[in-house]
Amino acid sequence: MSPAAWIAAGAFLAAQWRTAGPSGVMRTAAPFVALVLAVRSGLLGGVVAAVAVRLFEETLTLLGRRRRLERLRDASEEPIQAMFEQASLFGSAELCALAALPACGPRLRLLWQRALAEWLRGSASEDAFRQVGRAHGLPLLVQLGRALSLSRRNGTPLARHLAILLEDAAEDRRRRRAAESQTFPYFAATAALAGIVLAAAVWALAAGVGADHWIAIAALLTAGSIPLATARLLP
Amino acid sequence: MTGWLLPVAVLAWIAGGRRRGQIVPYALGALLGPVALLAAGVWAPAGAAVRSAWRRIGSAAAEDAVRRGVPVLLTDLGMAAEAGQPLHAALRDAADYSDGPLAAALQRFGSRVDAGASVAQALEALRRDLGTPQTDRLIGLLSRDAQLGLPLAASVARYRRNWLSEAAHEADRTVAYLPYVFTAVAGLLLLEGIALAAAPWLMSLLGTL
């Protein structure tokens, strides 16, 4: 390729990185890598490279999704904490939920607003929060719905239910963090090493060195599949 | 007959695109034939073993889902107890706020109570439904406390603490071996990287010899 083509490809991939992150770059690059390798080293190399890059990209996507969900789960404690603090000031649960809105992060705010809108439109509080929590994998919102429902039906103070909810949520978060801090650095190092081996194997195949063809294919397969398999071991 | 089709196809495919003189694809093709035949010969017993292993994996996954759902259930029961609900009503309502096999078992519990079964009978059936040693013990203790008339809120808070500390011990045991697994995997990848880097040099060395 000419230098201009390299620069154009680099700029395109950088734009992909900005919009879709590393997994977006891999998703875009995979077919081109497969095509180049199929031409340079045969169909088998191309197919295996496409599969390996796809698997590696799936690992990155999985981790990204997991991280976003974890962050959202942790963030969902904040408005409930705010509701707990407001519960002694306001008699109405609706007002508490409304007053807790500024405590939500940008992504959670949308979900919170949606649940609140449903609730104020007339659906029962438990249904509004339960549905939003279920749809987005946020058990705390589901349980908030339960707390609101119990308080409404039995006339018990909302703060008492929220206190139990917050205490249990904090304990769960502590446990999750402890387990993650023990394993994630090892996983990250393994995945980084797999990425390097994957890139080296693609380079070796593209360079067309015949003797290490099978070693490169074996390296592609293991470096592509191992991070995905080990990511599922993470607590 | 079909046992030969795959290796022949693989051999034809690989040989078509490869340089002459490279023996590996041909050796691989020659090996795949007997392996495929052997696989066809042992397919029936192997199939039964695979099916049984699959069932075991399925039931282990269901048990795992139940265990993961229990802390949420206990929080739910804690809140319901705070509102003054009795155990059976709290369990019946909790079905709407749980997921998977735990929600199904709680729904069956509610149906049994609605159909006129006594709470003790329905709890016994729930214990059998959930079927893990940990939930067995938990439901047994909650049922006993309810029969003795002990306050549900205090029982639930105590059992939740116990459950979480047991779960933490179990998670510690599981997590403890993961660094070794990751180190072994990283070692394998490192070896592959070294093999990849050294292959051209090794081949040229073999060529000079």
Q: Which residue has the higher pLDDT, A235 or B86?
A: B86
Confidence of residue B30 (pLDDT cuts 50, 70, 90): low
Is A172 within 8 Å of B71 when comparing Cβ atoms? yes
C-alpha B173: how far from its chain's center? 16
Q: Is B173 within 8 Å of chain A by CB?
A: no
Q: Which of A222, A212, A216 is nearest to A201 (CA)?
A: A216
pLDDT at res. A98: 87
Above 70 in pLDDT, residue B9?
A: no
Region A87-99: mean pLDDT is 82
Q: Which residue has the higher pLDDT, B50 or A115?
A: A115
**Is the ipTM, as predicted for this complex, more than 0.85?**
no
Above 80 in pLDDT, residue B13?
A: no
CB B175 within 8 A of CB A175: no
The mean-pLDDT minimum among A86-95, B87-96, B198-207 falls in: B198-207
Confidence of residue B1 (pLDDT cuts 50, 70, 90): very low
* A201: nearest CA partner in chain B: B196
CB B94 within 8 A of CB B80: yes
What is chain B written as a DSSP string? -HHHHHHHHHHHHHHHHS-TT--HHHHHHHHHHHHHHHHHHTHHHHHHHHHHHHHHHHHHHHHHHHHHHHHHHHHHHHHHHHTT--HHHHHHHHGGG--HHHHHHHHHHHHHHHTT--HHHHHHHHHHHH--HHHHHHHHHHHHHHHHT--HHHHHHHHHHHHHHHHHHHHHHHHHHHHHHHHHHHHHHHHHHHHHHHHHHHHHHHHH-
C-alpha B33: how far from its chain's center? 34
pLDDT digits (tens, 9 = 90+) for B112-152: 999 988 888 899 999 998 888 888 888 888 888 888 888 88
Is A154 within 8 Å of B192 when comparing Cβ atoms? no
- Neighbouring CB atoms inside 10 A of A212's CB total 23
Q: Which residue has the higher pLDDT, A227 or B40?
A: A227
pLDDT at res. B100: 85
pLDDT digits (tens, 9 = 90+) for A102-143: 888 888 999 999 998 888 887 777 788 888 888 888 889 999
Q: What is the mean pLDDT of chain B?
A: 78
Which residues from B are below 8 Å from A211, CB to CB? Answer: 199-200, 202-203
C-alpha B77: how far from its chain's center? 26
Q: Which residue has the higher pLDDT, A39 or B75?
A: B75
Above 60 in pLDDT, residue B8?
A: no
pLDDT at res. B131: 80
Q: Which residue has the higher pLDDT, A117 or B24?
A: A117
Cα–Cα distance for residue pair A178/A185, rounded to 1 Å: 12
Residue that is written with structure tokens 């889902």 in the block: B65
Above 90 in pLDDT, residue B108?
A: yes
* B206: nearest CA partner in chain A: A211
Q: What is the mean pLDDT of chain A?
A: 85
